[in-house]
Structure 1
Amino acid sequence: MPPKKSAQSSPTQGEPSGSAGLRPMSAFAAARMQSQAQAQPAPANPSEESDTSSSQEELEEKTDSSEDPDKEGLVPEVLNDGLGYESLSDTEDYEEWEQRNIDKPPTIQKIGIISNWRPSETNCREEDCMVYISLEHEETFSAIGQYDLVVKEGIISIYGATLQADGFRYRIFAPATHALPIIRAELDRAEIEVRHCKHTMRGLKHLAPSLWKRVWNHSLHNRRWSFGWINKVRDDRLRRPISPLTVHESWNVWDTIHVKPKTGRVPIIMVAGGKASGKSTLCRLLCNHYLKPPQLAESAEKSARKPNSLRTIFFLDLDAGTPEFVPPGLLSLVQIKEPIFGPAFTHPLTDLTESSRIIRAHSNFGFTSSTYYYHYLRAANNLFACYKDLRREFPGAPLIVNFPGAVKGMGGAMLEILEKDFDPTEILYLRKPEEKYLPDFKKQPIFLESQSYQVETRTDVQWKEMHYMSYFHQDGVVHGNVRWNALPMVDVRPWVVPYGPKSSDILGIAGQGHGFARDSLFTLTNCNHLAVVVIEGEKAFRPRENHASLRKPGPNDSRITDDALSFPKVKIARTTDTQLPFVFGSFGVFSGALSPQHSHCIGFVFVRGIDTENKCLHVLTPIPEYTIQRYTRRAEGERPKILLIIGEWYGMGWISHEKYYMAKHVMEKIRHSQERRRARTTAVDQQSTTDDIDTVNEE
């Protein structure tokens, strides 16, 4: 760690106009001044105390007034976060907001402590886009926003992971919608480097304010950093219900779930529980715990050595409603190589991601557990079989299985069946105090206290929309981190996919879970998101429990063509008006379950439009180009293998409003720029008039 500089030698920014030598402070400098003021003895006269606090507020308001609103250019809005007061928009002056809400105290029952670290001249040093922080043993630090974390010295723990000084840079996502991760110094003193990062996801709030507003940190004290240090809940200027990520005592089961010497089995951990019980957070903690270096140093002397390479674990996600790495509607098996530091919408996976990779996924699009009971079980067992095959290449790699929140009725029955099929080493069940019904487990589970880490500020549909929006707005990977594109999807250049009789890159279109007539195929396909499924053989359309859904077309059906037939026994028909190809089924369009053994899903596409004249689909997708070419490239005479699946119709309503909100944002930026230009012109004219008057008086 570089030598610390004194306060006089630390770099400062230029003085704002009209501040009479007042320099803008950063959030850390203001916090340092506040902590020093709190350390002084309180004045005997209460009026003196109020004067001191008011002067400090004036100082902060003056420094904050130098902030250039053109850097962000957000629309000043009046929001309400459901806590009894109006919220502070990103361009609103704090004094105006305070006057509106002075008589509206927040309804938060408990103002809690988030971290106990306090900035001082000895434990904090700022540079251009980073801050060096020294933590004593058991001292904690927390920030809201997005930042890169580098451990310079010692050992720290964050989000269940234990990190050593290896020079590796970790991207941390700490939105206000979820519990904030806490950085804790372990064993001895630790030094960390917290860096500002390019927060491309933040631009999504200009496209969907109702989804992404008030998610990240608020800019303070003339600094546009991607993160902000926070000590108490009341320190948040937006007054959101922020909470720290604290682990319940019953969750400390790390020693219990490790490999047992007697059996020597590789850990297979099943995590189950009801909805909003903390399953996703527990799964991330488990993943991060297994990804720590196998042999941690137990002393400061040993901790100076370089840690061993991170381990590999596998994550079997059977919760298609709220998955961790893939969009909603998929069951997946994922290989994880690096710790997870953020909620699900911060780390969508494609083939470009290096930290983790999708081994295999199946579409559960439009299915429910009651209607397609066997399809869910077959897909889960197929993914588990893939994991067993990979254990030859990755011996000793543990598996964490995440089950959906439905643990009653049919969901509980499937949980019991899969427990028998997987034969896990441990079952972790998150139990609520009022919960009476429990699945009939064959193995005795470890009961943990249910604990929700998600702030209830959005509905389930809005969470899915945020997940889909994060997935479709991916714009590649830079230095191992996902980058997001804040352009409306209607302005993005689409892929052109031919589907005509002479040249087609798709086998056809099919449904899943919902039967519909072929006449409605154009309406259901256009401006909708579809799953991209790769067909590996004819048996994909003939699962054992669903073979009756396929039938031969009759004489009154649409024209049957022999083109695009990869598999002779599968009939592909075309609509009369638009010539869209579809798999023929009992109700016009095939809408049954595909065999998981002979098909897999590689992602989603959004059909932006259909060119019926040139027989082309205009689609948008984050699936990499080489992945698409891998399955569309074929030899002469070979037929396509890609099938587009129509499933759910919700979760994509944000697309139709993106252009409007972006135009509104641009117009507000122009208006703010014009107002500032007029204000500067008026100030110059007034100064010129004053100078003329002074000149006349002198004469």
Structure 2
Amino acid sequence: MPSKTGPVSAIAARRLKQKLASATSAASASESPADQGPPLKKTKASPARASSAVKNQSLPSRRGEDVKPKRDSARSSSRRQSGEEGYVIKAVDKLHGDDVEEGAEDEEVDAVSVVSEERDSDEAEAPSPARFENFLLGKTRLSKSNVAYSTDSAICVHLKMKMTLAIVGQYDLWVKRGVVSIMGAKLHPSPQLYRVYAPSTHSLPVIKCVAGIDDYAEIEIRSCQTGPRGLKSLSNLYQRIWNSKKASPAGVWQPESPMSFSILHSSSDDPLKRNLRPFHLDKKWSISIKALSQRGSALRVLTCGPKGSGKSTFNKYLLNHLLSPPPTQDGLNPFQDGVAYIDLDPGQPEFGPMGQVYLVHLKSPVLGPSFTHPIINNSKHASMIRAHHIGDNSPKVDPDHYIMAAMDLMHHYRILLQSYPQCPLIINYPGWIFGLGLEMATLLIKSLGLSDVVYMSEKGPMEVVEPLGMAAQEVGLPMTILPSQPLEFVARSSAQLRSMQTQSYFHSFPYQANGALWSDVPLCRTQPITVSYSGSSQGLFGIMVTGSHQDPAFLRDLLEGAVVGVVAIENLDAIAKPIDSMVEPNNDIANGSNTDNPDSSEDISMLDATNPDEQQHSPPPSPPPPQSPSNTPHPIITRTTHEKLPYLYVGNGTCTPLDPNKSHSLGLALIHSINPTTQTLDLYTPIPPSTIRATLEHGHKLVLVRGQLDNPNWAISEEYFAARAAQRRHRRVMQRAKAENESAGRKMDATTRAEYAGVAERLKERVHRARNVPWMKMVEDEGVDMKEVGVRDMWTLRKRAYPADSGSGSEGEY
């Protein structure tokens, strides 16, 4: 519940945090009974189950009881936010979507409890706040006197000097008069619109008037409907992060029609009662950003520091400051050549998908978190110069390949300077700064030709700061040490943010002329791309698996349902050649002496699993076409026994990464299924077809690289969330139709009622089917002999298929 005291600033709260620790604990303990409140609905449960529920109040129901969470409960909010990637299990929860209307929130909504299969041991779950705290977001409460005009889709606001404005949601910002600052960028009057994304997962960007005629600036804030907002119907991680359509408390000015943003004075004005925080730039950060920007085109800065210290945030503010300088007397922009950005953090990239390092050329400020721009659209504002697939969230797997990729990106930056000689460079280094990570950082400092080094922690440790300082001193570089970014509240963990960014990447359309668009349709309901990996029309040259040893017999299991990198080979010399001491490829695997039916013990593909009757009538396998000179296999490419997949396999089972100097990454793909009969594979990818076509026309070869990226568990639960969202929408339509008939004094006719009932029944069946998670094999309850199934099927996720009259349905799992 909101605090009874007035709003306080984030800076004042941090200063008083230690002094008021004991008082806050006492107040929290005294207010806890009032905060809990009575439940909205009591469930019928046995005494044994009731005692179990007391012991496990934070756990969801296992039997499907209809349990409603408490309104505005911090524990309920934490449970909704803590669900991240994983397999879907049966549970019950309440999902408050951003577009839930009054009256609809009383519906009982089934949700899924998402359980992470693989959690990093060094990552803690996002902490849940003990209670709601009222924080000051803007210095002045917006009123009608500050509004110049308003329309159905925009408002024009007068900002006085040093007046700040905090907005949650997404909007287009147009500066009409004066100068305002936002996220490090100083925006001057121009016809340009700046798209701003301000979700509650991050600290809210603050708009501040820094200069203006008559000491005020005039800005227009426009509502925008395009963006990743629609992804809330596909994942609970995207719910409750934008503005609410509910009415705010009295005293806060509201536009006449709902918009895609909300202007808030304090966090208590938020109808969803979220722990919103404004971002206040540290004074030392501000001084350092101004000093670095004075170097102009000679700037070559590398930012490093521990995990969570604010490296990406500092780089983004520095980038925006460089891209928005004041115009000179002759009207020219001193940074008209843009800014180059090398991101060496494959685990938390800013402008690309997971598992990549890249070089991007930017010419416009970036005003949003990373999942709002997961892919760069090659346009006048930004372009992807070069990228390399690391295949992991950390460079620990192959540090040598990582260093080679970084050196190649620096080489292409020097090539970029030939066309844009006034282009500075910002390099973002990952948070791995101990051991081998420290050695790589010192190597990059000595060899990249930098101008500055920034370390983001005043607390050391000294065993890290001293080697970095010595390396910088050895090449004559100044090293700046800045305080870390204070993090008091985290709405999403690192693993959840990676899942959100990957999901946003696969649902984006980067080639749209008017900016990025997002699709809210589950991937399983879209048409995958079919690629041939054999024959005269072979479009895939080979498949690689990085990391530890992998048996080629398990290659299909490794690929189906996995996220892979799509890498273009510019020269076949990029493939490492086996040395004489290595064992040659296994000819038995290549020739395939097993003459049994290769599909007898295979899993049902995603397309066939939805309609098993069609699989029985599939055409017989046709003989493979003869090899043409254009697709002559490489010496180390081995065809697997059953599927005939082109595996870049050396005798010891390892795949040496491709040479970054002779290859580059196009992006990521999600493999839907592999069809051994037609020797094709189906995949999803946001890579534009024009990019793939241009790559093949240049004579490059395409290779899929299976690395150690996170499992796409977000894709498994998409259909369930989409089905529940469709069901909620239909319920609201029925309620509105019923209310309209009642207000008109008439009853709904039988035909209309039957139509609504039919749609509701179909949606209910869709939700029931969605609980049967895709990409799994159905195993009958009787007559299963594990010896006949074989070792290979032991690695397959199974779900027990019960008889129709058993009463268990399809909800039982093991």
Closer/same/farther in 2, CA of residues 602 and 79 from structure 1, 3 Å limit: farther
Query: Within the alignment, does 1:572 sit opposite 2:563 as a pair?
Result: no
Query: Within the alignment, does 1:389 sit opposite 2:415 as a pair?
Result: yes
Tell me the distance in 1 between the aligned counterparts of 2:500 and 2:198. 15
Post-superposition Cα deviations, 1:181-226, rounded to whole Å, max 9, x if no partner, equal 11111222211110000134111111112x1111111013474311
Tell me the distance in 2 between the aligned counterparts of 1:609 and 1:95. 39
Contact 1:150 1:168 in 2 (8 A): yes
Closer/same/farther in 2, CA of residues 208 and 503 from structure 1, 3 Å limit: same
Q: How far off its partner does 1:556 sit?
A: 2.5
Q: Which residue of 2 aligns with 1:279?
A: 311
Q: Which of 154, 158, 173 does residue 178 from structure 2 map onto?
A: 154
Q: Which residue of 1 aligns with 2:559?
A: 525
Tell me the distance in 2 between the aligned counterparts of 1:569 and 1:609. 25
Query: Within the alignment, does 1:581 sit opposite 2:581 as a pair?
Result: no
Tell me the distance in 2 between the aligned counterparts of 1:270 and 1:82. 43
Query: Within the alignment, does 1:438 sit opposite 2:464 as a pair?
Result: yes
Summarize the alignment of residues 92-111 of structure 1 with structure 2, pairs less than 5 Å apart. 93=102, 107-109=131-133, 111=135
Post-superposition Cα deviations, 1:599-656, rounded to whole Å, max 9, x if no partner, equal 111101111122322222111111111101112337xxx7x60000001252410111
Q: Which residue of 1 aligns with 2:680?
A: 616
Post-superposition Cα deviations, 1:79-113, rounded to whole Å, max 9, x if no partner, equal 8898356596542649999xxxxxxx972456334
Please say which of residues 387-396 and 402-411 is displaced more in the overlay: 387-396
The one-letter code sitting in structure 1 at the alignment partner of 2:532 is P
Q: Which residue of 1 aligns with 2:732?
A: 672
Q: Which residue of 2 aligns with 1:212?
A: 238
Q: Which residue of 2 aligns with 1:39?
A: none
Summarize the alignment of residues 307-318 of structure 1 with structure 2, pairs less than 5 Å apart. 310-318=336-344
Closer/same/farther in 2, CA of residues 687 and 208 from structure 1, 3 Å limit: closer
Tell me the distance in 2 between the aligned counterparts of 1:334 and 1:672. 45
Contact 2:133 2:275 in 1 (8 A): no
The one-letter code sitting in structure 2 at the alignment partner of 1:553 is P
Tell me, what secondary structure is at the counterpart of 2:314?
Answer: helix
Query: Within the alignment, does 1:136 sit opposite 2:173 as a pair?
Result: no
Q: Which of 648, 660, 670 does residue 606 from structure 1 map onto?
A: 670
Q: Which of 677, 692, 698 does residue 628 from structure 1 map onto?
A: 692
Contact 2:574 2:662 in 1 (8 A): yes
RMSD of Structure 2 on Structure 1 (CA):
3.2
- Normalised to the residue count of structure 2, the TM-score between the two structures is 0.67
Query: Within the alignment, does 1:224 sit opposite 2:266 as a pair?
Result: no
Query: Within the alignment, does 1:247 sit opposite 2:281 as a pair?
Result: yes
Q: Which residue of 1 aligns with 2:712?
A: 652
- Give 5+ residue unaligned stretches, structure 2: 1-65, 78-94, 107-128, 248-255, 473-477, 593-625, 749-814
Post-superposition Cα deviations, 1:356-391, rounded to whole Å, max 9, x if no partner, equal 111111111037544422111111111111111211
Closer/same/farther in 2, CA of residues 475 and 534 from structure 1, 3 Å limit: same
Query: Within the alignment, does 1:191 sit opposite 2:202 as a pair?
Result: no
Tell me the distance in 2 between the aligned counterparts of 1:672 and 1:96. 10
Q: Which of 254, 267, 270 does residue 299 from structure 2 map onto?
A: 267
Tell me the distance in 2 between the aligned counterparts of 1:204 and 1:122. 34
Closer/same/farther in 2, CA of residues 497 and 269 from structure 1, 3 Å limit: same
The one-letter code sitting in structure 2 at the alignment partner of 1:83 is A
Contact 1:258 1:267 in 2 (8 A): yes
Contact 2:377 2:511 in 1 (8 A): no
Tell me the distance in 2 between the aligned counterparts of 1:192 and 1:470. 30
Q: Which residue of 2 aligns with 1:127?
A: 151
Q: How far off its partner does 1:408 sit?
A: 1.1
The one-letter code sitting in structure 2 at the alignment partner of 1:372 is D
Contact 2:458 2:481 in 1 (8 A): no
Closer/same/farther in 2, CA of residues 127 and 258 from structure 1, 3 Å limit: closer
Tell me the distance in 2 between the aligned counterparts of 1:349 and 1:510. 24
Tell me, what secondary structure is at the counterpart of 1:142?
Answer: strand
Q: How far off its partner does 1:149 sit?
A: 0.5
Summarize the alignment of residues 189-588 of structure 1 with structure 2, pairs less than 5 Å apart. 189-209=216-236, 211-221=237-247, 223-252=257-286, 253-258=288-293, 266-293=298-325, 295=327, 310-366=336-392, 368-433=394-459, 435-439=461-465, 440-441=467-468, 442-443=471-472, 444-452=478-486, 455-542=489-576, 552-559=584-591, 570-588=635-653
Closer/same/farther in 2, CA of residues 314 and 107 from structure 1, 3 Å limit: same
Q: How far off its partner does 1:567 sit?
A: 8.2
The one-letter code sitting in structure 1 at the alignment partner of 2:660 is P
Q: How far off its partner does 1:404 sit?
A: 0.1
Closer/same/farther in 2, CA of residues 112 and 289 from structure 1, 3 Å limit: same
Q: How far off its partner does 1:317 sit?
A: 0.4
Closer/same/farther in 2, CA of residues 134 and 310 from structure 1, 3 Å limit: farther
Tell me the distance in 2 between the aligned counterparts of 1:656 and 1:343. 24
Closer/same/farther in 2, CA of residues 136 and 308 from structure 1, 3 Å limit: farther
Contact 1:114 1:231 in 2 (8 A): yes
Tell me the distance in 1 between the aligned counterparts of 2:67 and 2:665. 42
Closer/same/farther in 2, CA of residues 179 and 122 from structure 1, 3 Å limit: closer
- Normalised to the residue count of structure 1, the TM-score between the two structures is 0.78
The one-letter code sitting in structure 2 at the alignment partner of 1:583 is L
Tell me the distance in 1 between the aligned counterparts of 2:488 and 2:670. 29
Closer/same/farther in 2, CA of residues 79 and 478 from structure 1, 3 Å limit: farther
Closer/same/farther in 2, CA of residues 136 and 548 from structure 1, 3 Å limit: farther
Count, aligned residues: 591
Tell me, what secondary structure is at the counterpart of 1:345?
Answer: helix
Q: How far off its partner does 1:565 sit?
A: 7.5
Contact 2:134 2:268 in 1 (8 A): no
Q: How far off its partner does 1:582 sit?
A: 1.4
Q: How far off its partner does 1:517 sit?
A: 0.9
Tell me the distance in 2 between the aligned counterparts of 1:433 and 1:80. 41
Tell me the distance in 2 between the aligned counterparts of 1:257 and 1:416. 21
Closer/same/farther in 2, CA of residues 77 and 389 from structure 1, 3 Å limit: farther
- Give 5+ residue unaligned stretches, structure 1: 1-74, 98-104, 689-699
Tell me, what secondary structure is at the counterpart of 2:161?
Answer: coil
Please say which of residues 108-117 and 122-131 is displaced more in the overlay: 108-117
Contact 1:157 1:183 in 2 (8 A): yes
Tell me the distance in 1 between the aligned counterparts of 2:570 and 2:272. 52
Tell me the distance in 1 between the aligned counterparts of 2:348 and 2:581. 29
Contact 1:532 1:643 in 2 (8 A): yes
Q: Aligned residues: percent identity?
A: 29
Please say which of residues 272-281 and 348-357 is displaced more in the overlay: 348-357
Contact 2:456 2:484 in 1 (8 A): yes
Contact 1:348 1:471 in 2 (8 A): yes
The one-letter code sitting in structure 2 at the alignment partner of 1:160 is G
Closer/same/farther in 2, CA of residues 163 and 200 from structure 1, 3 Å limit: closer
Tell me the distance in 2 between the aligned counterparts of 1:485 and 1:491. 11
Post-superposition Cα deviations, 1:415-449, rounded to whole Å, max 9, x if no partner, equal 01100011321111110537443241222411111
Closer/same/farther in 2, CA of residues 649 and 321 from structure 1, 3 Å limit: closer
Tell me the distance in 2 between the aligned counterparts of 1:338 and 1:76. 48
Closer/same/farther in 2, CA of residues 308 and 415 from structure 1, 3 Å limit: closer
The one-letter code sitting in structure 2 at the alignment partner of 1:652 is P
Contact 2:386 2:409 in 1 (8 A): yes
The one-letter code sitting in structure 2 at the alignment partner of 1:190 is A
Closer/same/farther in 2, CA of residues 371 and 347 from structure 1, 3 Å limit: closer
Tell me the distance in 1 between the aligned counterparts of 2:299 and 2:321. 13
